Amino acid sequence: MKIAEGVEFHGGGPQPPTLHPSAPRQQAPEARTRTAGEYPGWSRVGGRAMNAITPPWISRLLTLAILAALPGCIIEEGHSPDSPGASYGCPSLEGPRIEGSVSLHNEQGGFFSLESYTYEGYYVRHADGQAMISLIETGWDMDDATFRMVPGLADERCVSFESRNYPGSFLREDHGEVWLDDGRSDGRFEEDATFCPRLGLADSHALSFESCTSPGTYLHHTDDILYVGDGSGWAFDEDATFLLTDPWSP
């Protein structure tokens, strides 16, 4: 069923997740605060909280309408795409796990930046080879915070992030940490450098990125360092949620 231009919803699987509770986005890690008063049943929509007792069909339409802002975004439900010659190899998308995955096929090949959902103005970037989030203040920062989104090296339904200023080097997971690497000395490189987009754990209007090889683990930051791991609670969900933005360095 085609909901809007560039957005399709497939089949009769489970509903896309409703919005999760979220504290206001912070300006800097030092100012990070969360209040115990926020509890399940409240959601963040456009910077404002609303009671999440909205009927499920309305929540579903809201989610799909917002996703229309991402051209080519497809929510997969219960089947694999039929694409001869495509590479499919991520355990995170095997069988029923494909349900709720987000395809960014129209974005693949373009340059983007990833903003932290938790800390406004902080972007994923690399520095001395390590992936982290930081403010962007110089031209070097802009280059380090810009990535080309390509079809997943291990599974074309997912994505890999190629460095803007170091072509051929990709963000990859290595023992839980995330580094920029060209993979020339590692047979697991393609799998470790592939991430599967999902509706945002903290906000279904944003994105989270699940590890290709370790279902249930996500790209996330702890303070300012990027990791791949699992967690629970809305604090983890926020730190594992990102906003896809225009590139700092086109």
The answer to whether residue 35 scores a pLDDT higher than 60 is: no
Phi/psi for 205 (5° steps) reads -90, -5
CATH of the domain at 34: 2.80.10.50
Written as six digits, the tokens of 59 are: 């929540």
User: What is the pTM (predicted TM-score) of this model?
Assistant: 0.68
In a domain, 204, yes or no: yes
Residues 129, 131, 135: CA angle, nearest 5 degrees: 115
- 121 domain-assigned: yes
Strands 147-151 vs 159-163: parallel, antiparallel or unpaired: antiparallel
Residues of the domain holding 168:
2-245
Q: What is the mean pLDDT of residues 68-95?
A: 55
Which phi and psi angles does 98 have, rounded to 5°?
-70, -20
Rounded Cα distance between 193 and 213, Å, is 10
Instruction: Find the helix or strand (DSSP H, E) in which 32 lies.
Output: none
Would you state the pLDDT for residue 151?
95
SS3 196: strand
Which has more confidence, 149 or 57?
A: 149
Q: Which of 115, 102, 126 is nearest to 195 (CA)?
A: 102
Is pLDDT at 24 greater than 90 in this prediction?
no
- How many structural domains does the chain have? 1
- Could you write out the three-class secondary structure of 43-80? EEECCEEEECCCCHHHHHHHHHHHHCCCCCEEEECCCC
Q: Do residues 218 and 230 touch, judged by C-beta distance below 8 A?
A: yes
Instruction: Give domain status of residue 37, yes or no.
Output: yes
- The predicted pLDDT at position 143 comes to 98
Asked if pLDDT for residue 168 goes beyond 50, the answer is yes
* Least-confidence region, from 71-80, 81-90, 107-116, 214-223: 71-80
* pLDDT confidence of residue 187: 75
For residue 87, what pLDDT band results from cuts at 50, 70 and 90? Answer: low
Q: What 3-state DSSP class applies to 116?
A: strand
- Asked, for residue 102, whether it belongs to a domain, the answer is yes
CA distance 51 to 15: 18
pLDDT at position 3 is 28
Quote the longest CA-to-CA distance of the chain: 52
Judged against a pLDDT cut of 80, whether residue 241 lies above it is answered with: yes
- Is residue 105 assigned to a domain? yes
Question: Measured between alpha carbons, how far is 132 from 116 in angstroms, rounded to an integer?
Answer: 10
Give the whole-number percent of the chain exceeding pLDDT 90: 54
The mean of the pLDDT values for the chain is 74
In a domain, 42, yes or no: yes
Bigger pLDDT: 140 vs 34: 140
